[in-house]
Each structure stands twice: as C-alpha cells, then as structure tokens.
Structure 1
Amino acid sequence: MNKVTMADVAAYAGVSKSTISQYVNKRYKFMSESTKIRIEEAIKELNYRPNSVARSLKQKSTFTIGVIVSNILHAFSTQVIRSIEDYCNSLDFHVIVCNADDNPEKEERYIQMLRDKQVDGLIVFPTGENLELYEEMVKTNYPVVFLDRKIPDLKISSVLLDNEQAVKMAVEHLVEKGYKKIALMTNALHRVFPRQERVRVFKELTSLHQLPIDEGYIVSRDLGQLKSSLGELLTSKPVDAIIAGNDLALLEILNYVKEHHIVIPKDFALISIDDVSFGNLYNPALTVVAQPAFEMGKKAAELLLEKIKGDFKEEEHIYLFQPVLIERDSC
C-alpha cells in the first residue's frame, strides 16, 4: 500500500496542501469550522499520519525531550516523571525516559543517544561523574536542567529539595519526642548531592542538639548491604530512632524489621525522608518528610521548555522546594 501524502489529503478534502499543513501544525486562526471538519474526516478516511521527521526539519524541533533518572525505583522518580510527562503532553511535547542506575557510564551513553536522536533538551538527575559532558552542554548552549541534584560551579539550572530543611525537620521532630540516640541510614554517598547534603546536615544537628557524636550512627552503604549494616548497628550501639535517608533505604529497614520481629516505635522510632505510597497503610503508619515531587517535576519541565523556546533569561539558578513533615505513628 502506498503511503498517504499531504497532497492526497488535500485533494480528498478539497483544500490546498498549505491548509493541511496549517491544520497539522494546529494553526487554526483563519480556518473555518467546516474546513477543519473536512480535513479531519479526510485524515480519518485515508488513515493519514503526518511525517514527523519532515515536520521536525521544517520547524527545527523534534518536540521531544529526554529525562534521565538516577534510579527509576525511587517513588520520587516515578512521581517526577509523571509530572513532567503531564506538563509536556499539555504542550504536545513527547518524553523519552532513561534509567541510569546511578551509573556514570550508562548516564553518558543515554545523554549521547538522546542527543543523537535530536531531542530538544534534557532533564537529568546527574551522577556527578560526567563533568566534561555537562560542561560541553553548557558551552554549546544545549538546553538542560538538573533535577534533585546540583553540580558545584556548573552553570546549569537545578530544581532541588531543601535537603537542609528536610533533615532539620526529621531530627527536630525526633528530639521534640524525646529521642536522643538517633541514627541516619542511606545509600552509599558516591558523588550524589542529596545524600552528601543530608549526612552533612545530620552531623551539624547532632552537635547542635548535643546528641551522641559518633560516626557509627551514620550508616552509608550500597542498598544490598543496608540490612546487614542495620543489624551491626543495633547490636553495637543503643539506638532510639532511625532516619531513613530515602525511600529505598526505608524499604531495607522495613525488611529487617519484619525479619527480626522488631516493634516500631517500641524498639526504635522511624522517620523517612521521602514519602511512600503505603506510608499511611503500614502498621504503624510512617512519619515522613515528603518532597513536593509533582511541583518539582513541573518546574523542571517549565524551565526546560523555556530554554528550548529561547525564553529563559537567567544563566543559572537553584530552585529550592520546601519539604513537608507528615506526622504519623512511627515516632
């Protein structure tokens, strides 16, 4: 079967090719309602599909962006992706999502692949390891926005949680409840900004509130080692409360709790930085410091599309979003 062309649709609808082009590109300002109906019927009858490649060449845009997340298993990542997709869909932009697994090599391959596919811009949860590649995007004015993380001294706009405030909320809530021996558990730090920031602030707050200053109360391991590390912590030190540095660390803690028949908050209190879908259903319901994921995703998408359209005036800006303490029963 021969491919249906714009000329075929124009002939069927009794209009010019330029009118079909106007319709396909949603420029209806001077088009009558009857003409739109005829074109719509012709497209349906002929099963016409516009040539997206030709459209992209003509308009110098693929109307597609790429999103490279650090780990798609994070509830935060899923919520952010949904928000980005919703916003872009409302403006007829498509979204390609890639999962880098916090692996610099995967991140580099995905950035190169997406740029080879001529996506108009990128939203990246950066690993922090591909500095030359980030710098090259800045130098060539390629539209890019960082989300959840920032790279010091790099002029790329970043959308972040106020991690300092998030840890402060968690620690101060526990202190107000009378807990003193507080531990922080998180994935291995590597060069991941939120984890580094949360550990830094936790150390400062332990000193401020005169809590036990002991490196043993800070556990930073690969996910597969967190359960065994929790066991080592509980057998070596008295622990009143634990702060889970993110939702994946929380899951490892909860798995250990189930396996060892621990009672929360009787044996130790628990609070998570990152909400989870089952947080209010778990028994006891989990106290969390939640990120405004949907607002952060929308902001990142807005910034990127402004950059793509050339409407973004600032060089670099850090957009900080405030966390929210959701108090439940686990502490």
Structure 2
Amino acid sequence: MKKAKLTDVAKRAKVSNSTVSQYINGRFDYMSKETQLRIRAAVKELDYTPNHIARSLKSTKTQTIGVIVRDITGFDTSQTIRGVDDFCKANQYNAFIYNTDFNPETEAQSLAALYQMGVDGIIIAGSGKNTALINEYIEKGMPIVHFQIEYDGLEKNLVLSDYRKAAFEATSYLISLGHSRICFFTQSFTNVKSRYERFLGYKDALTAHAIAFDDALVQYWHRETGFEVSPKALLAEENPPTAMFSQHLAITTELLAYLNQENIAIPTDVSLIGFDDIPMAEFFKVPITVVKQEPYIIGKEAAKVLFEVMKNKGEHAQKLLISCSLTKRASCAPVKALS
C-alpha cells in the first residue's frame, strides 16, 4: 500500500497543504474546530505519518536529543533517563539513548552518531576522556549538558548532586556516633572534580569536629582490580577504622560481599555508609545507611537546562546542584557498641 502524503491529506480534507502542515505542527490559533476535525479524520483514514526527516530539513530541528550514559543498567542512571524522557515527552521531543559501558571510544562513536543524526542537543554522563572532542562539538554549535559527574575542562552546563555537602553530612553523622577513624573508600580523583568534592566534604567534616586528617584512611578501589588494600587488612591494623564511607554503589556492593565473605559483621565490627541507594536495601539482613541522590530530578533538570541552551545558545553557562539526603538504617552504630 502506497504511503499517504501530506498532499493526500489536504485533498481528502479539502484544505490547503499549508493548513495541514499547520495542523501537524500544532498551530491551531486561526483554524476552526470543523477544519481540525476534517484534517484529523483524513489523517486517520489515510493512516498518514508525518515525514519527520523532511520536516527537520526544512526547520533545521529534529525534535530529538541524545542521551549518553556510562551504564544504562545502573539504578540511578535508569531513574535519570526516566526524568529526561518525561521532560522530553512533555515538550514533544524524543530521546535517543546511547550506552558506553565506560568505554571512551564507544562514547566518541556515540557523540559522532548523534551529531550526524542532527539531534538538537546532547545530555551526557561522560568518561572524562573526550574533553577536547566534546568541546569541538560545542564549538560547532551543538548544545551539550553534563550530568552525574564533573571533569576538568568540562565545567559548564552541569546538573549534579551537591556532593560536598552530602559527604559532609554523612561524615558528620558518623562522627556524632563517636567515630573518628573513618575510612573513605573512593576511586581516583585525577581529573574528576565530582569525586574530589566528596573528599572535600569528608575533610570539611573532620575539620569541623577537630579530628586530624589521616591520609592512610583514604583508600582506593578500581573497577578492574578492586581494592588496593584489603578491608580485612585495614581492620587488622593497630589503630583500625571503626567506620567505612563508600563513595560509589559499585564500591559499596563489592565491600558488602567482601565483608560477608570474611565474616566481618556490620555494624558490630565496623559501621558502613554508602553513597547511592541500593535497590531493596531495606530488606537486607543489615539494611545499609546511604546517601540518597535524586536521579529523577537530576534528569528533568538536565533536560530543562539543555532546552534552555538549545533556545538561547548565547546564554551564560549554568551549574545546578541538587541536594541529597541521608537515609539512616541499621549499618551504623555508636563506637561504644563496637566489640
């Protein structure tokens, strides 16, 4: 069956081509209700589908954006995508989702594909390895907004959690329970401002409570190789940490598995706070205290900022910080209760 054209709809509805075009684009201001009903009926009878590619060539807009994420299966990431998608749907836009699996090459390919498709803008949680490339696309006129994570050289048009404040509050909570030996588990800070902001929040809390900073209590985890120093070895030291503060969901889950394997009890042997909520954490044998971000809000706000940039490309750069909350559960106990 031959696909219906706009001219076929106009002929069936007995109106001009431009009137049908106005109807398709939602411009009803000077169109009678009767005319709208005739066009709607013709569209349905002919099963007419607008040619969005042709429309975009005329209007220079595709009514689409791209979203690039590092791990589409992540709990917070999926909620962020939902926030973006809901905002887009409310504004008659579609979102194309690209997953990179933390691979900078895949990220670069995703950026190129979206640029070639002619999307009107891009929202990205990047790897930090394509800074020059991203800035090239921005120079070419592509509106780009970053979310989740901030890197050196990519400091404009960002929507992030208020990491420093959240880390300060979580650390302060542990201190209020009597902990002064708090192990800070993180990934490398190099080039990653978001991770460093959490570290600064941790240090701020120590300073605010007159606790000396101990560099040995900052421990690193790598996605490929795990912990640089085993948590068991840390707890076996002469002056061991009494609490652990994990900065990433992947670190927290690996830490939980490790402690369980080594029969290290939470919070009897060590208290634990994780950054990012864990799905169904309240049903764990020992529910985990977490810093909870607001990924859905971050997604909606990132989309909102992108739309503002797409509309007014000359406007000044924005940086929005979204507050986190501390969800207190059973994984933290006062020091005096520790054996």
TM-score, normalised on structure 1?
0.90
**CA-CA distance at 1:134 after TM superposition:** 2.7
Deviations 1:277-306 (A, max 9, x none): 313232322221111222221111111111
AA in 2 matched with 1:69: V
Deviations 1:232-261 (A, max 9, x none): 433446231111102221211222233334
**Cα distance between partner residues in 2 of 1:154 and 1:259:** 40
Deviations 1:30-62 (A, max 9, x none): 223333233222222222111011111122101
**CA-CA distance at 1:153 after TM superposition:** 5.2
Between the aligned residues of both structures, percent identity stands at 34
Q: 1:304 aligns with which of 296, 302, 306?
A: 306
Partner of 2:269: 267
**Cα distance between partner residues in 1 of 2:28 and 2:180:** 66
Partner of 1:317: 318
Partner of 1:184: 184
Q: Is the 8 A contact 2:288 2:329 kept in 1?
A: yes
Partner of 1:330: 331
Q: Is the 8 A contact 1:216 1:233 kept in 2?
A: no
After the TM superposition, which of the residue ranges 278-287 and 224-233 deviates more from structure 2? 224-233
**CA-CA distance at 1:121 after TM superposition:** 0.7
**CA-CA distance at 1:154 after TM superposition:** 4.7
- Cα distance change, pair 44–231 in 1 and its aligned pair in 2 (3 A): farther
Q: How many residues align?
A: 330
After the TM superposition, which of the residue ranges 178-187 and 109-118 deviates more from structure 2? 178-187
Q: Which runs of 5 or more residues in structure 2 are unaligned? A: 333-339
AA in 2 matched with 1:139: E
**Cα distance between partner residues in 1 of 2:24 and 2:132:** 40
AA in 2 matched with 1:285: P
Partner of 2:336: none
Where in structure 2 are the equivalents of 1:153-232 lying within 5 Å?
154=154, 156-203=156-203, 205-206=205-206, 209=209, 211=211, 213-226=213-226, 229-232=230-233
Q: Which runs of 5 or more residues in structure 1 are unaligned? A: none
Q: Is the 8 A contact 1:219 1:229 kept in 2?
A: no
Q: Is the 8 A contact 2:151 2:194 kept in 1?
A: no
AA in 2 matched with 1:85: D
AA in 2 matched with 1:328: R
Partner of 1:128: 128
Matched residue of 1:270: which SS? strand
TM-score, normalised on structure 2?
0.88
- Cα distance change, pair 284–229 in 1 and its aligned pair in 2 (3 A): same
